[in-house]
């Protein structure tokens, strides 16, 4: 079985108590902190920038921080997040003028890099970067909001990307983001994902430990 990573999206956390929320979700069994950066330009919503990432590092969070940039342009934000302690930085290829340069900027800064594909974004964006990316993030909702329903057609796309990763011979993580919960996480894993973002399915529950355990129990079946 692959190593499965659970990445709670702090988009659905209580921002007024963010440090505690992140501490709690990590103590409850999360592997990675998923950090949704929205700019009210590339996506129709506004969240938080690199200062909040730095604040979490200063608060003492040492777990990997997976920064999902939903911004355009991307390069200035990449530089800021590299300085703020990001571990992984992904961006949407159509939001960058020079995708290879943006990926290289992330790698040169010492973080892991990846591309994010929206539900209707074609796979050809991966064509000349499979030797470079550490992670591919497939959106299973249209980006901008938490709490949306998983788009079922994404399962075929996950299978197609899994095949491309296997053909590449590289150990590229396949992350899926949007509408994931205990009742569908197994199907997403079977399609080939090994990293699962979940916002509302964890932070809207009273017991984060129980929510994450329910997902792991499904994955273990
Ligand atoms: C959507 C974000 C997701 C979202 C996931 O634009 O990228 O990370 O917060 O939230 P849920 O799990 O509630 O769909
Ligand atoms: Zn995200």
- Say how many CA atoms lie within 13 Å of 221 toward its Cβ: 13
Residues forming a β-bridge with 36:
68
| Number of domains observed in the structure of the chain | 1
Catalytic: which of 39, 134, 177, 194?
A: 177
Q: For residues 155-170, give the mean pLDDT.
A: 98
Backbone φ, ψ for residue 40 (5° rounding): 55, 30
> Is residue 209 marked as binding?
no
What is the residue whose two structure tokens read 């990763």?
Answer: 165
Ligand 1 contacts CB of residue 177 (under 6 A) = yes
Nearest to 65 by CA among 34, 26, 42: 34
130: CA distance to ligand 1 center in Å?
Answer: 25
CATH at 201: 3.20.20.70
CA dihedral 155, 158, 159, 164 (to 10 degrees): 160
- The sign of the CA dihedral 49, 55, 56, 58 is positive
- Say how many CA atoms lie within 13 Å of 190 toward its Cβ: 8
Share of the chain above pLDDT 70, in %: 100
- pLDDT tens figures, 179-217: 999 999 999 999 999 999 999 999 999 999 999 999 999
Q: State the pLDDT confidence band at 1, using cuts at 50, 70 and 90.
A: low
68: CA distance to ligand 2 center in Å?
Answer: 5
Residues forming a β-bridge with 137:
116, 175
| Euclidean distance between CA atoms 86 and 78, whole angstroms | 9
Backbone φ, ψ for residue 172 (5° rounding): -95, 130
9: CA distance to ligand 1 center in Å?
Answer: 6
Nearest to 31 by CA among 51, 61, 52: 61
Catalytic: which of 31, 36, 75, 127?
A: 36
Q: State the pLDDT confidence band at 2, using cuts at 50, 70 and 90.
A: confident
- pLDDT tens figures, 90-127: 999 999 999 999 999 999 999 999 999 999 999 999 99
Q: Is the pTM higher than 0.95?
A: yes
**Residue 25: which domain range?**
5-220
Is-catalytic flag, 14?
Answer: no
């Amino acid at each position: 079985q692959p190593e499965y990573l659970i990445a709670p999206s702090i988009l659905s956390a209580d921002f007024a108590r963010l440090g505690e929320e992140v501490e709690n979700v990590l103590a409850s069994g999360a592997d990675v902190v998923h950090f949704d950066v929205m700019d009210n330009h590339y996506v129709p919503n506004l969240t938080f920038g690199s200062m909040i990432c730095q604040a979490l590092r200063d608060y003492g969070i040492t777990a990997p921080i997976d920064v999902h940039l939903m911004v355009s342009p991307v390069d200035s934000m990449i530089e800021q997040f590299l300085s703020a302690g990001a571990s992984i930085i992904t961006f949407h290829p159509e939001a960058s003028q020079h995708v290879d340069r943006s990926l290289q900027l992330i790698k040169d800064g010492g973080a892991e890099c990846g591309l994010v594909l929206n539900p209707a974004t074609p796979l050809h964006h991966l064509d000349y970067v499979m030797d470079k990316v550490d992670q591919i993030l497939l959106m299973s909702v249209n980006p901008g909001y938490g709490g949306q329903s998983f788009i079922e057609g994404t399962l075929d796309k996950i299978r197609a990307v899994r095949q491309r990763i296997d053909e590449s011979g590289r150990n590229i993580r396949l992350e899926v983001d949007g509408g994931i919960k205990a009742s569908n996480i197994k199907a997403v894993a079977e399609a080939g994902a090994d990293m699962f973002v979940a916002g509302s399915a964890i932070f809207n529950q009273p017991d984060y430990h129980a929510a994450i355990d329910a997902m792991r129990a499904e994955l273990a079946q």
